């Protein structure tokens, strides 16, 4: 099949690469000329394990091309995927300006029947707006062209996106016509050969399914973080509690790991957007509001623990930070707990030496340049180099490389033997037997 993928961010690039991997011819379109030029050279704008190799191979095979011309790409296909950003507005609502801008361009250029697919995460009712925007342009042109608008939300985990796309648990398709359902079933046939993974529903149902899924996972995280804070005050080890409740098949172990809060491009944005949508429709979502509030508070827990140990004025103190990305397997620092922590540390007078396996370039863009210029933040090339004369180590992201630290080398390098474990990666007893003061989450 011939596909036009509009947007070369995380969702668009992964989706385009995976469709081409299964033999479809895909043109990825973006208005950012520099990004397209880089992609044509094999330079990707994001880090995702295995993605670079897949993109380059399918480019070489002629199945994946990159362009800045939507009009030209549309002439070759009848499947148009909208995969542009929907950043949160100040009120938490999803900003649809890019989605509707693309819809307008499609309306200006569509010549024959096509399926327009909302791949971006969008609020319920967005497909109606896309349909109206396309039709408005067709009316201006004075032409009649049939088209369908479909909702096909993505369920990709950063760090495991290729596997999630190639071997999905389910494929949600919101389509209101038999013709659109037939096209989408044909498109996804290579991804559901073992069993039919496609779940057809109405467009609005599909739009809601995406928000409900992410909000449910965020709820589990915030619930466990709430439990962790209660455990701290009761002298209870939350890790034992986690194992106890996780063994219940009705609960399971997924997304019940206590920590320093969730981040990324999905959970924070989607929870806020669903809250906003609910409020606009006359319903106060008390549970979702609590999920969001707990997450914001949880991102402050590591700093609160540091202040409790060292005092409010951190002038003259140096902290080693392991992990900057919001989770392992990605360089994404959007809404990352590390950003909150480092901002608080620097503003309290501390200096920070930090390391992350892949997010160092993102970190340079995230913080003010003056903080790097005067060494308030120093990014180092090896994790143990963060420890030189450090008053404490703060683990923020649970990369595998941090799981078995050399406590002897740490003692030699650090000024004080203190560890703040924001992801409960270490056994408190082992850490204390090695001569360190240990501070975890809920333990």
DSSP designation for 85: -
The token duo for 312 is 């409010």
Distance from C-alpha of 443 to C-alpha of 198, rounded to nearest angstrom: 43
Q: How big is the CA angle at 417 (ends 415 and 418), to the nearest 5 degrees? A: 115
Distance from C-alpha of 151 to C-alpha of 169, rounded to nearest angstrom: 17
Torsions phi, psi of 371, nearest 5?
A: -70, -30
Does the annotation mark 28 as catalytic?
A: no
**Residue tagged 């590591």 (tokens):** 302
Distance from C-alpha of 13 to C-alpha of 192, rounded to nearest angstrom: 21
From the list 18, 28, 260, 266, the catalytic residue is: 266
Please name which of 433, 207, 409, 211 lies closest in space to residue 320, comparing C-alpha atoms.
409
Q: Find the radius of gyration of the CA atoms of the chain.
A: 24
**CB contact at 8 A, 24 and 61:** no
The token duo for 385 is 């180099």
CA 235, 240, 244, 246 torsion: positive or negative? positive
Spatial neighbors of 174 by CB under 8 A, at least 6 apart, are: 127, 150, 151, 152, 200, 201, 202, 203, 204, 205, 206, 207, 209
So which residues are the catalytic ones? Answer: 266
């Amino acid at each position: 099949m011939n596909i036009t993928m509009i947007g070369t961010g995380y969702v668009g690039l992964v989706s385009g690469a995976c469709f081409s991997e299964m033999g479809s011819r895909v043109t990825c379109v973006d208005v950012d000329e520099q990004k397209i030029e880089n992609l044509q050279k094999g330079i990707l704008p994001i880090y995702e394990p295995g993605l670079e190799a897949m993109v380059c191979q399918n480019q070489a095979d002629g199945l994946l091309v990159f362009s800045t011309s939507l009009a030209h790409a549309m002439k070759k296909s009848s499947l148009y995927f909208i995969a542009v950003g929907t950043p949160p507005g100040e009120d938490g609502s999803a900003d649809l300006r890019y989605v509707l801008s693309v819809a307008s361009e499609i309306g200006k250029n569509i010549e024959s029947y096509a399926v327009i697919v909302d791949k971006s995460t969008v609020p319920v009712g967005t497909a109606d707006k896309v349909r109206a925007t396309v039709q408005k342009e067709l009316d201006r042109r004075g032409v009649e062209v049939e088209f369908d608008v479909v909702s096909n939300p993505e369920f990709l985990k950063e760090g495991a996106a290729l596997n999630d796309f190639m071997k999905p648990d389910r494929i949600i398709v919101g389509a209101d016509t038999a013709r659109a359902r037939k096209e989408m079933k044909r498109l996804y046939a290579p991804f559901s050969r073992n069993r039919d993974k496609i779940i057809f529903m109405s467009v609005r149902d599909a739009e809601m399914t995406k928000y409900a899924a992410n909000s449910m996972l965020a709820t589990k995280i915030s619930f466990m973080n709430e439990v962790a804070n209660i455990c701290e005050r009761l002298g209870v080890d939350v890790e034992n509690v986690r194992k106890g409740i996780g063994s219940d098949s009705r609960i399971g172990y997924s997304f019940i790991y206590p920590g320093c809060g969730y981040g990324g491009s999905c959970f924070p944005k989607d929870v806020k957007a669903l809250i906003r949508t609910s409020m606009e429709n006359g319903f106060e979502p008390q549970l979702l509001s609590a999920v969001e509030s707990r997450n914001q508070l949880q991102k402050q827990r590591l700093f609160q623990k540091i202040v409790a140990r060292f005092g409010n004025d951190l002038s003259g103190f140096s902290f080693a930070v392991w992990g900057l990305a919001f989770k392992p397997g990605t360089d994404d620092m959007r809404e990352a707990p590390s950003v909150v922590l480092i901002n608080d540390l620097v503003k309290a007078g501390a200096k920070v030496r930090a390391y992350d396996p892949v997010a160092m370039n993102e970190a340079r863009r995230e913080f003010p340049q003056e903080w790097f210029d005067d060494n308030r933040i120093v990014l180092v090339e090896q994790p143990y180099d963060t420890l030189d004369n450090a008053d404490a180590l703060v683990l923020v992201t649970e990369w595998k490389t941090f799981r078995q630290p050399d406590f002897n080398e740490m003692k030699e390098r650090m000024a004080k033997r203190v560890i703040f474990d924001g992801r409960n990666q270490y056994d408190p007893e082992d850490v204390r037997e090695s001569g360190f003061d240990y501070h975890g989450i809920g333990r």
